[in-house]
């Protein structure tokens, strides 16, 4: 231990934490699989391998493509959800950020409004 750099010794708790976390996560993943193999509960049968979510076979391939508008609506939802997440801390700290904080948030909201208007104009929000 005397040869190690004192700065490197400070990383020892982090390495211990990562090692314990890796060991526990590996145990939580592989231990139940091993126990099920040993106890005999791993016994695949035709009934066990059938569809279980809706009770009947799927009509088409599970690799079918979604309409791109589905993804556009999802992305727009995430964007406006993040906007709401940014608005609350901004409103709480507006007293401390002053006019610079207000102006930067107005630019941010303006960019989002322009993006929303563009998506609306292109028909990304219309569903058939």
Residue 103: band (very low, low, confident or very high) from pLDDT cuts 50, 70, 90: very high
CATH superfamily of 66-128: NADH:ubiquinone/plastoquinone oxidoreductase, chain 3 (1.20.58.1610)
Question: Lowest mean pLDDT: which of 31-45, 53-67, 107-121?
Answer: 53-67
CB 125 within 8 A of CB 119: yes
DSSP assignment, residue 126?
-
Q: What is the DSSP string of 51-111?
A: --SSSS--SS-TTPPPPHHHHHHHHHHHHHHHHHHHHHHHHHTHHHHHHHHHHHHHHHHHH
Domain boundaries, the chain: 1-42, 66-128
Handedness of CA 123, 124, 125, 127 (dihedral sign): positive
pLDDT at position 4 over 70: no
pTM above 0.85, yes or no: no
């Amino acid at each position: 231990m005397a040869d190690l750099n004192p700065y490197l010794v400070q990383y020892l708790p982090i390495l211990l934490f990562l090692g314990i976390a890796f060991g526990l996560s590996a145990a939580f993943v592989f231990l139940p699989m091993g126990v099920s193999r040993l106890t005999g509960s791993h016994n695949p049968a035709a009934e066990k391998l059938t569809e279980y979510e809706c009770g009947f076979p799927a009509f088409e391939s599970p690799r079918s493509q979604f309409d791109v508008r589905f993804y556009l609506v999802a992305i727009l939802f995430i964007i406006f959800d993040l906007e709401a997440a940014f608005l609350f801390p901004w409103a709480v700290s507006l007293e401390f950020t002053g006019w610079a904080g207000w102006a930067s948030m107005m630019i941010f909201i303006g960019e989002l409004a322009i993006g929303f208007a563009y998506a609306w104009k292109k028909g990304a929000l219309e569903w058939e």
